[in-house]
Amino acid sequence: MNTTQKDAEIFSLVPEDYLTASLSPVWQQRFNKALTYIVEHLSEAIDWDQLALHCAVSPSHFQHMFRVIFNEPPGRYLRRMRLKKACYLLAIYPEKPVLDIACDVGFSSSQALAKVLRRDLGMTASDIRSQGIDPFDPNWPVIFSKLGTPGNSVKMPMEERLASDLNISVIKHPEQYFKTRRHSGLGLADIDKLWKKIAPKDINEQVMLTFSSEVDIDYGKTSFLLGYRESGASANQVIPAGWFLSCKVRIASESGYFAAWHAMYQFMLEHNLTWLDDAVVVETNHNSRAMLARTMEMTLSLSLDENNVLASGLADTKND
């Protein structure tokens, strides 16, 4: 679907939003409380009986309802979340000991993590690190697809299925101005700390700028610009006017993030679009004051080659 960015609403790639949508408000609140607790205590041993009581549900009913609603028991959900986070950390922190990453996400040892990696992904920690993550490579690591939320009837992870209906826009932006500081590494806590240090307190939108010419094969060391939108007089980074591929999404994990980018790359292939030789990815987090919350609302944009846009017939899309 093609829309203008101004008209497009945030498209949710959070499977839990859809899986709990038919529940009563009381049950939605209970399971949102449970999911938030799991995410916030990922590295800890979780007592499911206590969590059930915390959510005002009997332990046996909690186990049954969780399996019915989310298509997997709570223990498997927790393991998938831990493994997903471990894979992400392995990719962005190539020098960090595997044991430290294992413990950070709740595995008892590097051997325990290795066992789950082999069983669930058929991979090792070294395999994941050798792939890296390149934001300009349309072949996103398949690990995040394999760790997506299971559907109740199809083998495709829910994030990918939902992303097939993503609202994708081709937009002509005017010249854009930003106040930024260079940063390396993709740890969300580090990014959050630096951004809150440099951004005025009345600004909520965080912006990350990544240029194709500066992408390192070792994604953990990729350098990018972190900052916020600013007026021309105060800006230290300017993006020229031009055409951008764009979408607005709500995500809860790396699986949703990569599913959105995969859908955008598919859109480019279908319409014979290509990015610029010195392309820029502009990622806007719309509420960075709550960056470490369970979900994030983002706009993802990639600069396009104008000749391809004009030839595609998509140039009649309204300007931003």
Give the CATH number for residue 93. 1.10.10.60
- 8 inside domain: no
For residue 37, pLDDT beyond 90: yes
Query: In whole numbers, what is the pLDDT of the chain averaged over residues?
Result: 87
pLDDT in tens, 162-174: 999 999 999 999 9
Do 297 and 197 sit in the same domain of this protein?
yes
Angle at Cα 188 formed by Cα 187 and Cα 189, nearest 5°?
95
In which domain, by residue range, is 204 found? 168-312
Do 269 and 243 sit in the same domain of this protein?
yes
Would you state the pLDDT for residue 88? Answer: 86
For residue 284, pLDDT beyond 70: yes
pLDDT in tens, 180-222: 999 877 677 788 889 999 999 999 999 999 988 776 544 445 6
The count of structural domains within the chain is 2
Give the pLDDT band (50/70/90) at residue 2: very low
| Nearest CA-CA partner of 98 in 125, 134, 128, 132 | 125
Do 183 and 293 sit in the same domain of this protein?
yes
Do 69 and 135 sit in the same domain of this protein?
yes
Do 189 and 251 sit in the same domain of this protein?
yes
Give the CATH number for residue 216. 3.20.80.10
pLDDT > 70 fraction of the chain, expressed in percent and rounded: 88
Would you state the pLDDT for residue 222? Answer: 62
Three-state SS for the chain is CECCCCCCCCEECCHHHHHCCCCCHHHHHHHHHHHHHHHHCCCCCCCHHHHHHHCCCCHHHHHHHHHHHHCCCHHHHHHHHHHHHHHHHHHHCCCCCHHHHHHHCCCCCHHHHHHHHHHHHCCCHHHHHHHCCCCCCCCCCCHHHHCCCCCCCCCCCHHHHHHCCCCEEEEEECCEEEEEEEEECCCHHHHHHHHHHHCCCCCCCEEEEEEHHHCCCCHHHCEEEEEEECCCCCCCEEECCEEEEEEEEEECCHHHHHHHHHHHHHHHHHCCCCECCCCEEEEEECCHHHCCCCCEEEEEEEEECHHHHHHHCCCCCCCC
Q: What is the average per-residue pLDDT within 17-33? A: 94
Would you state the pLDDT for residue 4? Answer: 36
- 48 inside domain: yes
Do 102 and 143 sit in the same domain of this protein?
yes
- 318 inside domain: no
Do 134 and 69 sit in the same domain of this protein?
yes
Q: What is the average per-residue pLDDT within 128-151? A: 75
Do 129 and 255 sit in the same domain of this protein?
no
Would you state the pLDDT for residue 151? Answer: 80
pLDDT in tens, 238-249: 999 999 999 999
Would you state the pLDDT for residue 1? Answer: 35
- 163 inside domain: no
- 162 inside domain: no
- 300 inside domain: yes
Do 86 and 215 sit in the same domain of this protein?
no
Do 179 and 126 sit in the same domain of this protein?
no
Single residue among 92, 126, 156 that ends a domain in this structure: 156
For residue 274, pLDDT beyond 50: yes
Would you state the pLDDT for residue 320? Answer: 61
Residue 18 neighbours by CB under 8 Å, 6+ apart: 12, 158, 162
For residue 155, pLDDT beyond 80: no
Do 233 and 300 sit in the same domain of this protein?
yes
Single residue among 95, 125, 156 that ends a domain in this structure: 156
Single residue among 99, 128, 156 that ends a domain in this structure: 156
| DSSP β-bridge partners for residue 242 | 173
For residue 319, pLDDT beyond 60: no
Q: Which is more confidently placed, 218 or 110?
A: 110
Global pTM?
Answer: 0.86
